[in-house]
Homo-oligomer: A and B are copies of this chain.
Amino acid sequence: MVTVTALARTAALVGDPARAGMLAVLMDGRALTASELARAAGVTPQTASGHLAQLTEAGLLAVARQGRHRYHRLASPAVARMLEGVMAVAAGPGPVPAAPRRGPRDAALREARTCYDHLAGRLAVAMADALVARGAVELEADGGAVTPAGEDFLRGLGVDLAAAARTGPARRRVFCRPCLDWSERRPHIAGTLGAALLATCLDHGWLRRIEGSRAVAVTPGGRLALVRAFGDGLGGPCGDA
């Protein structure tokens, strides 16, 4: 089988700490320069350059030149899914890791952040719970689905389901994929629906990206809108309701 050597090569690319750090940072879906990635991985620029060349040639990263900067991003959703899969295994079977780190430094990250193209963190898990509770979405380990009632509800929020469903109105119910949250250890909504949800929240000004971080902030108006749409669970980091 030719594939076994390719399998090992690909996994080995992710298996180096420096490269793994870069890929983990890029999991938020943004495109970063080589210097930023070097700093994130804790190596010198020339070392990072070599790693980036390998990752790009293997098809894990895509680059976009822009002036004298080179922006690197994950080459495809398949790469993001692969990384999610490895992270899920790396996290181990333990469902409850206690409360390992309560540092305020990453409090914003635990509250809400981007995960490639969708939301993650406490907010995303609460959102998924609310959607399941109201019967708008069905979630299982292997996949998820939007119910007919859920279609109406989401359309009411302004989620562009039609854009998410490229294949016509007949099969609008599938574009939903669970993604295990590393901070909450509970599933949130990824896939095309997750991407559409994030886009909607950003478009409406409910959420705002925080510069230089994967974290996203809930705007004052956004908090109101989210609570009205999803219920009290979306209220705040510590339940300010």
Minimum distance in angstroms from A145 CB to a CB of chain B: 5
Q: CB of A79 within 8 A of chain B?
A: yes
Instruction: Check if A142 sits within 8 Å of B90, measured CB to CB.
Output: no
Minimum distance in angstroms from A67 CB to a CB of chain B: 27
Which residues in chain A, 154-179, are within 8 Å of chain B measured between CB atoms? Answer: 167, 171, 173-177
Instruction: Check if B143 sits within 8 Å of A176, measured CB to CB.
Output: yes
- A92–B84 alpha-carbon span in the complex (Å): 18
> Which residue of chain B has its CB nearest to the CB of A20?
B8
**Which single member of B1, B9, B173 contacts A24 (CB below 8 Å)?**
B1
Question: Inside 8 A of A84's CB, which chain B residues have their CB?
Answer: 85
- A111–B81 alpha-carbon span in the complex (Å): 27
Instruction: Check if B2 sits within 8 Å of A8, measured CB to CB.
Output: no
Interface size in chain A (residues, C-beta < 8 A): 64
Which residues in chain A, 117-171, are within 8 Å of chain B measured between CB atoms? Answer: 138-145, 167, 171
Instruction: Check if A91 sits within 8 Å of B3, measured CB to CB.
Output: yes
Q: CB of A13 within 8 A of chain B?
A: yes
Instruction: Check if A8 sits within 8 Å of B15, measured CB to CB.
Output: yes
Instruction: Check if B17 sits within 8 Å of A5, measured CB to CB.
Output: yes
Q: CB of A212 within 8 A of chain B?
A: no
Instruction: Check if A171 sits within 8 Å of B90, measured CB to CB.
Output: no
Q: CB of A43 within 8 A of chain B?
A: no
Question: Inside 8 A of A10's CB, which chain B residues have their CB?
Answer: 86, 89-90
> Which residues of A come within 8 Å of B, CB atoms?
1-17, 19-21, 24, 59-60, 75-79, 81-93, 100-101, 106, 138-145, 167, 171, 173-177, 182, 190-193
